[in-house]
Structure 1
Amino acid sequence: MKITAAEVNKLRQTTGAGMMDCKKALVEAEGDFDKAIEILRKKGQKVAAKRADRESSEGAAIAKVNSSHNKGAIISLNCETDFVAKNDDFIKLANDFANMALNCNSKEELLAADYKGITVADKLTEQTGVIGEKIEIGAFKTLEAPFVGSYIHAGNKIAVLTGLSSNGDQAEEVAKDVAMQAAAMNPVALDENGVDQEIINKEIEIAKDQLRQEGKPENMLDNIAQGKIKRYFKDNTLVNQAFIKDNQKTVAQHVQTLGNDVKVVGFERVALG
């Protein structure tokens, strides 16, 4: 049967599939639009099954904050190649999913959510068929605080959310500064209380081994190692790090420009690659 260009274009706009794939699906469906969509989805399932064991380390990490600035979400939409990750339609889809994540509490809830008449999970399968690469939601993180800010590093490779204990005139700028800090310096925790005890024990043992090699006496090792741990906290915990825009003060001190009692209360960081 004759399939018009307008019908093919309509299916392409709906599914994002290529023109030839859309035409073939409409011919197979004998012009039935809904059946053609189903044919394309089944094709996506077959491609997804074939690509299931592929590594999807490329993609886009997107952070979003709600209009009240008290909740943020980060998702990564993962794919196999940087070529796909830079595609405008792929980035738009990642942004759509990140906006949806603001209303979800888990990755599973996001995957089950409705996206233009189908679930997000089904949309991922569909797009796997369209693009020919494994596509999946990788990271899913949310953050709630009195004020939440965000930052996405160039190329959508790193996305960060930061939470402050108070709102204010310059809260958005300061929260973004802190998010940029976390993006650049990759802290292991918010402060020393958030560092896993196993990491602390490992760092202490590393410090002691170094001190022994330097010939320090055994009875001095504990005290010197504790000093080195304090330095580790300063270098690797967000609020204690030297602020990248002014290394004469810490991140905590920079945040206090909003008020002496204002603190960073949380952060989330997602990095690809």
Structure 2
Amino acid sequence: MQKKISSENIKDLRNKTGAGMTDCKKALESSNGDVHIAIEILRKKGLATADKKSSRLASEGLIESYIHAGSRIGVLLEINCETDFVARQPEFQQLAKDITMQIAACQLVNYISKNDIPLDIIDYEEKLELQKDDLTNKSDEIKSKIAKGRLEKRLKELSLMDQNFIKEQSITIEELIKQHISLLGENIKIRRFERFLLGEGIQIKNNNFVNEVSSMIQSD
């Protein structure tokens, strides 16, 4: 028996996904009122639509900043879309804020995607995996297979697009962006980001009083 779809159901799904009212109604009808299945239907539809737009030029957008509580971590992000109109939409601006928070939270992330990781870094990480003690007595075939799996995991740790979204662990940052491409109707690209850690790269001199006095005596 087909479950009756109310306007409240449709509105609730729209609030959860940002999809249009008609699409929400169709998704709920297809899922017989099951919200979780309806969300999956809309997500799959959105991802397919987003893939078609991903090659379009995105030169507008904004630069977003985030300073974590305590002012010890900061992030600058450039995220692009196709028009200034979309750049001014609250959904796009919230997306930018969410991604800067994600970058601040993921200290291992240094690249936008795995495709951006330099070959020398990949080679270095692969050599490290192959040299690990627990692989010493394995055959070359087994060793290569294990190291390849571990390398893939390591590269995902370095890639922003492969991170699970901190506000919704069931989707990745790549899927989050594709959802917004579908929602806003324009291509969206993360162009670059920079993370700042207070004191990073500074060699802190930490001589105690005894060592300081000792060095003064020796100099006399």
Report if TM-score (shorter chain) is over 0.5: yes
**How many residue pairs end up in the alignment?**
151
Residues 244-268 of structure 1: per-residue CA shift (max 9 Å, x gap): xxxxxxxxxxxxxxxxxxxxxxxxx
TM-score, length-scaled by structure 2: 0.61
Structure 1 or 2: more strand by fraction:
1
1:116 maps to 2:168:
yes
For 2:82 and 2:202, locate their aligned partners in 1 and report how far apart those are by CA, in whole Å.
35
One-letter amino acid of the counterpart of residue 160, structure 2? L
CA distance in 2, matches of 1:85, 1:50: 20
In structure 1, the residue matched to 2:141 is none
Partner of 1:69: 71
> Is the CA contact 1:56–1:78 (under 8 Å) kept in the aligned structure 2?
yes
- For 1:25, the equivalent position in structure 2 comes to 27
Contact 1:77 1:137 in 2 (8 A): yes
| 1:4-49 alpha-carbon deviations (Å, 9 max, x no partner) | 1121122111111122221122122221211111111111222122
Deviation sequence 1:129-160 (CA, Å, 0-9, x none): 2222112322121122349xxxxxxxxxxxxx
- Distance in 1 of aligned mates of 2:14 and 2:73: 35
Contact 2:51 2:178 in 1 (8 A): no
Q: 4+ runs of 1 displaced by more than 4 Å?
A: none
Which residue of 1 is the match for residue 14 of structure 2?
12
Asked if 1:125 is matched to 2:175, the reply is no
- Tell me the SS of whatever aligns to 2:105: coil
Alignment of 1:86-125 (within 5 A): 86-104=88-106, 105-106=109-110, 107-108=112-113, 109-111=159-161, 112-114=163-165, 115-117=167-169, 118-125=171-178
Aligned-partner SS, 1:3? coil
Q: 2: CA distance between counterparts of 1:60 and 1:23?
A: 33
C-alpha RMSD of the superposition: 2.5
Percentage identity across aligned positions?
A: 37
Distance 2:47 2:58 in 1: 17
**TM-score, normalization by structure 1:** 0.50
More helix by share: 2
- Tell me how far apart the structure 2 counterparts of residues 113 and 45 of structure 1 sit (CA, whole Å): 16
Partner of 2:137: none
Please say if residues 40 and 129 of structure 1, whose CA atoms lie closer than 8 Å, have aligned partners that are also in contact. Answer: no
Task: Structure 1 unaligned segments of length 5 or more: list them.
Answer: 148-162, 166-273
Q: CA deviation at 1:54?
A: 0.2
Match of 2:189 among 136, 140, 160: 136
